[in-house]
Structure 1
Amino acid sequence: MASALLPVSPERIADAARRVMSRCDDLARISAAPDRIERVYLSPEHARVNRLAAEWMREIGMTTRQDAAGNQIGRLDTAGDEPALMIGSHLDTVADAGRYDGIVGVLMGIEVVRMLREPADDDGSSWRSPLPFALEVAAFWDEEGTRFGKALLGSSAVGGVWDDGWWDLADAEGTTLAQAFREFGLDPGRVGEAARRSDELVGYLEAHIEQGPELHRSGESLAVVSSIASARRFLLSVEGEARHAGGTPYDMRRDALLGASEAALAVERICRAEHHIIGTVGQFEAFPGGVNIVPGEVQFSLDLRGEFDGERDRVWQRLTAELDEIMGRRGLRWQHREIHNAAAVACAPLLQDVVREGIRAAAGEVTDEPPAIFSRAGHDGMALGGLTGIGMLFLRNPDGISHHPDEDVSTADVARGIRALAESVLHLAADRRAAA
């Protein structure tokens, strides 16, 4: 069993968890829509939430700044001009979102900093962890890619992998990313200033609700994340011929909707037969869209994820061959455009170890090793993997539902997660001191 290093009472941990849950509710009220949660990149809601997050960071003694990509960063210097351990997640949402995806990780990071800088419970002394690194909390933006269709924009800027080809991306109203930057008060020409150097960071840790049911099914509350899925996203179009619904016999029809529907079913059939490959058709639109017209064109999306890049790409090749066969048989044409490509990212062995030790220390009495879970969902750490080692802690999400108003996490599990994350930081500090 790992030894506990954090001299903080369960009552204080419980207070921190209640504060996280209350602040999740506060942020849920900042939305572009009155009847649902929706916060997108470079919006008025983005600005409001950054101001509130900065206030919470300053409350515990952190210095704050909004970086050149619109991320909100807090920093606590604990050992002079040392590199930092970054704890982070994101504050943007999908449309009609839940209130915990990303958000709970940022707020837990703030509470961990509070735990590591305030006096211990035991005697009210000025105990502070002798950390050999600074602490930063990063509140990233546009992890979801809701507004411009490209995920991980904020963390990509920090990770130094910004692509200038993204400036022409446009939202549903036709506003380009470059225009949105300027309207928000950011300078597109300075986005490179958000990039961090590898020698500035000792690692990146993120707590996140599990976006799946494994912890719920196993009865466990916390897990170590072993790796983050590779992902590719495509926009596909199928072209046929729009004709009168009543006057066109079946042998003359080139129905794009039926071809695209068969393609969507092929995605499910092929991916279900593969280990750790998930394919999803999430958008589907027929044109011209008349009730009495054979659809002449369909546009749809494909989200393809896998534990390993090679397996994912092999499935994509199988899908393209299948679509060739379907469209050829139906007299249709199809084409695709790739809009996102992210390689799988393995969590660093050392950070997996310290998260595992943190979970064990937080549990108090443990007979089994904490579970290790491969994340099928993408996270900001993917954009930072080329810059520094990453580690992740999953929290149980009842029924595994996410990207939906019903996503959930219990206050008790958040308390366990805060303790485990703080213990992870302290175990990393102990490892670095031993290595020095």
Structure 2
Amino acid sequence: MSSETAIPRINGERLWHSLQQLGEIGADASSGGVTRLSLSDAELEARQFIVCLMKEAGLDVRQDEAGNLIGRLEGELPGAVVTGSHIDSVIQAGRFDGPLGVLSGIEALRTVKEQGIRHARPLEVICFTDEEGVRFGAGYFGSRAMAGSWDEAWLELTDFSGITLKEAMERANLKPHKASQAARSGEEIKAYVELHIEQGRVLEDREIPVGIATAIYGHRWLEVRLQGRADHAGTTPMKLRRDPMAAAAEAMLAAERIALQAGGVATAGTLQISPGAINVIPGEVIFTLDVRHERLDSLAEMARAIESAVNQVADERRLEAAIRIIDGADPVQSAESVMAAIAAGCGELNIPEHRMICGAGHDAVVMSGITDMGLILIRSKDGISHHPQEWSSLDDCEAGANVLLHTLIRLANDIIV
């Protein structure tokens, strides 16, 4: 891009307004949090908002077989340059995780169309189905379908109310058994670039608004089931107890130690105790562990070590243990070509270039399986995410969206950095 030409920029106020509008859908007035579980009434309402925004931006809009919403600007050459993210949320979430990537993508393509910016290749923005995995216990449904890794077994997964994914998709006017038809090839998609809040404190600590992810942690989600014997809390001596709750506490601490030693992270996120009475020794405990690392071999070793620790605790306490992997993704590396385009965009906008590892999983993890992938991160206040207090400033959102815009333009025009 010539330095004599005015540098294209998105409309930051318009982006911010759309973030606030979307944030009202599924909002809880008392906590300030947002709950939009995948394919829920709130998320389906939010999808209609996204469709309207895409149409207002002048994009050709379609929904694929997996429910992914796609807005497109046609180009002269084959091989689209794609951006996107998701709008489903965790329970009591903030307003930025996921939506920023979708809305910034729409704003970037809208800017390209409004300003008549040349793009030899097609540009697309995608709102993916169910990235978070909260409602059905597994995530990345939309991006996995697009990447050709859809699993029909997912249709039988159930939510907290016993509703299956199949039933939820049918209620959303989707045809579940056609979801695999959403698959696309690397020839169709030249590159994928995602914009996301950091969800950590690295950029804030360094006083930098934008980061370039060099890699994304892989993860394994483990479900641990410990079965013992439910007994009276007052009449059962300590030596006679088969208490799965005490064992679960030991296992969680063991997972923490293993993560520290391996340089990864492990989190016990959910816990179910049965029968769940104050004066009853539990008979069964089920808990989940979210295990992550940037190296595949270390991630696998962490999972093995945790399984061994759980089994050892169960044996010592005369319990039955069952461990299963309920979801997972391998660590991925960003493509050098996309990172270079992001870095060039930062340079053009006078934003410091900072490369870093991303600890959170995103649809970019899955899309890296079929095309070159890059991830732009923006500063998160206090590193808070998945919480009502999640916050990124208007200036940082605008800066990230402008870097995204320039990255897309470079990739769509095959500008070699």
Give the distance between the partners of 2:230 and 2:244, measured in 1 at CA.
8
Residue 119 of structure 2 corresponds to which residue in structure 1? 131
Equivalent position amino acid for 1:307 in 2: E
What do the CA deviations read for 1:340-360 (whole angstroms, capped 9, x no partner)?
A: 021111111100111111112
Tell whether 2:196 aligns with 1:197.
no
* Over 4 Å off, 4+ runs: 2-6, 32-35
Tell whether 2:109 aligns with 1:109.
no
Residue 63 of structure 1 corresponds to which residue in structure 2? 60
With the length of structure 1 as denominator, give the TM-score of the two structures. Answer: 0.91
SS of the counterpart of 1:386? coil
**Candidates 45, 68, 75, aligned match of 2:72:** 75
What do the CA deviations read for 1:318-338 (whole angstroms, capped 9, x no partner)?
A: 222222222222222211121
What do the CA deviations read for 1:124-169 (whole angstroms, capped 9, x no partner)?
A: xxxx332220110101121001111111011111111101111111
SS of the counterpart of 1:320? helix
SS of the counterpart of 2:376? strand
Superposition pairs for residues 44-59 of structure 1, below 5 Å? 44-59=41-56
Gaps of 5+ in 1: 120-127
Give the distance between the partners of 1:137 and 1:247, measured in 2 at CA.
62
Q: CA deviation at 1:34?
A: 5.9
CA contact (8 A) 1:32 1:45 kept: no
Residue 89 of structure 2 corresponds to which residue in structure 1? 93
Give the distance between the partners of 2:87 and 2:284, measured in 1 at CA.
36
Tell whether 2:407 aligns with 1:420.
no
Residue 271 of structure 2 corresponds to which residue in structure 1? 284
Give the distance between the partners of 1:165 and 1:295, measured in 2 at CA.
32
Superposition pairs for residues 3-402 of structure 1, below 5 Å? 7-8=6-7, 13=10, 16-31=11-26, 35=30, 36-79=33-76, 82-119=78-115, 128-275=116-263, 277-363=264-350, 370-402=353-385
Give the distance between the partners of 2:19 and 2:152, measured in 1 at CA.
34
% same residue: 35
Q: CA deviation at 1:100?
A: 0.2
Equivalent position amino acid for 1:21 in 2: W
Q: CA deviation at 1:198?
A: 1.7
Q: CA deviation at 1:5?
A: 8.9
Deviates more, 1:188-197 or 1:264-273: 188-197
What do the CA deviations read for 1:44-83 (whole angstroms, capped 9, x no partner)?
A: 223221221111111121010122111211001132x632
Give the distance between the partners of 2:6 and 2:190, measured in 1 at CA.
24
Q: CA deviation at 1:259?
A: 0.5
Give the distance between the partners of 2:112 and 2:192, measured in 1 at CA.
17
Q: CA deviation at 1:18?
A: 1.9
Give the distance between the partners of 1:32 and 1:115, measured in 2 at CA.
29
Gaps of 5+ in 2: none
Give the distance between the partners of 2:51 and 2:140, measured in 1 at CA.
21
Equivalent position amino acid for 1:92 in 2: D
Q: CA deviation at 1:384?
A: 1.2
Equivalent position amino acid for 2:256 in 1: E
CA contact (8 A) 1:41 1:142 kept: yes
Q: CA deviation at 1:403?
A: 0.5
Give the distance between the partners of 2:121 and 2:97, measured in 1 at CA.
28
CA gap of 1:407–1:433, structure 2 versus 1, over 3 A, is closer
CA contact (8 A) 2:80 2:412 kept: no
Q: CA deviation at 1:231?
A: 0.8
Q: CA deviation at 1:193?
A: 2.5
**CA root-mean-square deviation:** 1.9
What do the CA deviations read for 1:203-248 (whole angstroms, capped 9, x no partner)?
A: 1011000011110111111010111111110111111111111111
Give the distance between the partners of 2:5 and 2:254, measured in 1 at CA.
52
With the length of structure 2 as denominator, give the TM-score of the two structures. Answer: 0.95
CA contact (8 A) 1:267 1:279 kept: yes
Equivalent position amino acid for 2:216 in 1: I
Give the distance between the partners of 2:296 and 2:175, measured in 1 at CA.
35
CA contact (8 A) 1:5 1:426 kept: no
Give the distance between the partners of 1:249 and 1:108, measured in 2 at CA.
61
SS of the counterpart of 1:162? coil
Give the distance between the partners of 2:124 and 2:51, measured in 1 at CA.
12
Give the distance between the partners of 2:13 and 2:368, measured in 1 at CA.
32
CA gap of 1:282–1:6, structure 2 versus 1, over 3 A, is farther
SS of the counterpart of 2:94? coil
Give the distance between the partners of 1:7 and 1:39, measured in 2 at CA.
39
CA contact (8 A) 2:191 2:411 kept: no
Give the distance between the partners of 1:252 and 1:346, measured in 2 at CA.
51
Give the distance between the partners of 2:205 and 2:292, measured in 1 at CA.
22
Give the distance between the partners of 2:299 and 2:212, measured in 1 at CA.
23
Give the distance between the partners of 2:156 and 2:29, measured in 1 at CA.
30
Equivalent position amino acid for 1:179 in 2: E
Equivalent position amino acid for 2:71 in 1: G
Q: CA deviation at 1:378?
A: 0.4
CA contact (8 A) 1:6 1:423 kept: no
Equivalent position amino acid for 1:222 in 2: V
Q: CA deviation at 1:6?
A: 7.1
CA contact (8 A) 2:112 2:118 kept: no
